[in-house]
């Protein structure tokens, strides 16, 4: 279970099947119905990612010494925020495609 901070609220987000079984497959097939709370969380995470990316770009241009121990902490933070963003999005229910809705309607008529 993951959490998303939306200012004064903390939203608990259950791990989505898409996160465990392949994000690209799950995201590419269906759109998602994003609730206002999830939308706000995604928006805030996006702003935080942009802020850290801009900060990192400016830091790279400065003559300071780079982090010698491996991955830069800002990059790690960006990756964590990106993962949280995907978890929030993939926890939203999928919207059936038009063909899936038509097939379901036809199945109901046959029964």
Rounded-to-integer distance, Cα 86 and Cα 111, Å? 38
CB 25 within 8 A of CB 87: no
Domain map of the chain by residue range? Answer: 2-110
Rounded-to-integer distance, Cα 107 and Cα 96, Å? 15
Q: Residue 82, SS3?
A: helix
Helical spans, DSSP H, in 8-35: 17-21, 23-29
Residue 88 tokens, joined: 């929030």
Local confidence pLDDT in tens for the 111 residues of the chain: 444 444 444 444 444 444 455 555 544 578 899 999 999 999 999 999 999 999 998 888 776 655 555 678 899 999 999 999 999 999 999 999 999 999 999 998 887
pTM of the model: 0.61
Q: Residue 67, SS3?
A: coil
């Amino acid at each position: 279970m993951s959490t998303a901070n939306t200012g004064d609220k903390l939203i608990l987000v259950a791990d989505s099947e898409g996160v465990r079984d392949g994000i690209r497959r799950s995201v590419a097939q269906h759109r998602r119905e994003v609730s206002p709370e999830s939308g706000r969380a995604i928006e805030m995470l996006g702003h935080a990612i942009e802020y850290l990316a801009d900060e990192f770009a400016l830091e790279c241009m400065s003559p300071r010494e780079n982090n010698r121990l491996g991955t830069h902490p800002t990059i790690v933070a960006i990756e964590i925020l990106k993962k949280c963003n995907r978890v929030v999005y993939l926890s939203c229910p999928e919207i059936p495609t038009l063909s899936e809705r038509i097939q379901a309607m036809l199945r109901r008529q046959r029964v």
